[in-house]
Amino acid sequence: MSKYFLGIDIGGTKTEIALLSDKGKSKLPLKVEKKNYHILLKKRMPTQKELGYQNLIIKLASFIQDTLTKHKISMSMINGIGIGLPASVDPTTGLIADIKTSPFNAQNLAKDLKKELKYKKTVISDNDANLFIYAETFWGAGLNFAKKTKINPTQHNSMGVTLGTGVGGGIIIQGKIHRGRNGGAGEIGHTPVESNGRACFCGRLGCAEVYLSGTGIELEWQKQFTDKKLSSSEIFKEASSKIFFEKYQERLANFLANLANTLNLDYIVLGGGVSNQKVIYQGLEAKVKKYSYIPNNTIKIYQNRLSDSAGVLGAALLALKIHDKS
């Protein structure tokens, strides 16, 4: 009998679903313990979180059911559902705990969606940065490291760093997501990179999110060049931004080296819009190595391979792994 796993990635503006199955064919199958899985479908809808929590639950359940029906798949055929959220999720209670995700704060989205779908099997949610690096470790950039070192992804120590509207992080230790007791591990965006720097919404000064995110890049640029309001991608192309970029990369290298020194990582995978700028990788590994405490330890810095599908694939992988354990 075929197995099906549904991944859901809920973002600030869009929500994506993806269905994996051991049935089907694809040029690049996703391997899990010598078994191939295939992406049968991927589809998106607007999140519209401004319309409220209950609206999202009802709309998402309807979206899932309609999509599966069109592909002649019933909910009873789905073996597990994983959900990625732009927030910390308590692994014990399943409650969302992040001040930015209101009105979803303190809600148990996995439980409520399961009820709305009238679904009987496992539904599990996790932080989207955790799921980003989970997918990249087993199906993305981690395969580069595995090929080079012959070390199986189940033994990898890796970290995902998302440089988008904000800065997020996910940690993999020995092939498993490290969440911390309350699900707050990897909240690296609120690690200061500048003493007495600009204020962050979290209440601290000089946070990584303030300087390394796309939004932070734009604010820092405006501070220096008030007559040129540009997007982060435009700033990287601007001829006058060489010195500006060198300062950005110096902050980024120090930041990544601190993560590598703390966790003794094999590699770091960068995601988010800023990670698409090829120039940030030029000389970055050498700078991180220079700041590394452990001698002869070259931390690999990879650009993500799964693009913006990493989160939804990580959610499906999470459901698959939970099912295999049961």
Domain ranges for the chain, please list them.
Answer: 4-127+308-325, 141-305
pTM higher than 0.85 for the full model?
yes
Q: Are the C-beta atoms of residues 17 and 6 closer than 8 Å to each other?
A: yes
Question: Who contacts 199 (Cβ-Cβ below 8 Å, separation ≥6)?
Answer: 205, 210
pLDDT, tens digit (0-9, with 9 covering 90-100), for 251-285: 999 999 999 999 999 999 999 999 999 989 999 99
Rounded Cα distance between 52 and 215, Å, is 25
Strand partners, 125: 83
Could you check whether 4-127+308-325 and 141-305 share the same CATH topology? yes
pLDDT digits (tens, 9 = 90+) for 44-73: 999 998 899 999 999 999 999 999 999 999
Q: How many CA atoms lie within 13 A of 109 on its CB side?
A: 34
- Does residue 13 contact residue 49 with C-beta atoms inside 8 Å? no
CATH homologous superfamily of 4-127+308-325: ATPase, nucleotide binding domain (3.30.420.40)
Question: How confident is the prediction along the chain (326 residues), in pLDDT tens digits per residue?
Answer: 789 999 999 988 899 999 999 988 887 789 888 889 999 999 999 999 889 999 999 999 999 999 999 999 999 999 999 999 988 999 999 999 876 667 788 999 999 999 999 999 999 999 999 999 999 999 999 999 999 999 999 999 999 999 998 999 999 999 999 999 999 999 999 999 998 899 998 889 999 999 999 999 999 888 887 767 888 888 888 766 788 889 999 999 999 999 999 999 999 999 999 999 998 999 999 999 999 888 777 899 999 999 989 999 999 999 999 987 76
Measure Cα distances from 39 to 26, 31, 241, 276 in Å: 8, 12, 41, 24
Give a three-class secondary structure readout of the chain: CCCEEEEEEECCCEEEEEEEECCCCCCCCEEECCEEEEEEEEEEEECCHHHCHHHHHHHHHHHHHHHHHHCCCCHHHEEEEEEEECCCECCCCCCECCHHHCCCCCCCHHHHHHHHHCCCCCEEEEEHHHHHHHHHHHHCCHHHHHHHHCCCHHHCCEEEEEECCCEEEEEEECCEECCCCCCCCCCHHHCECCCCCCECCCCCECEHHHHHCHHHHHHHHHHHCCCCCCCHHHHHHCHHHHHHHHHHHHHHHHHHHHHHHHHCCCEEEEECHHHHCHHHHCCHHHHHHHCCCCCCCCCEEEECCCHHHHHHHHHHHHHHHHHHHC
Q: What percent of the chain has pLDDT over 70?
A: 97
Determine the CATH number of domain 141-305: 3.30.420.40
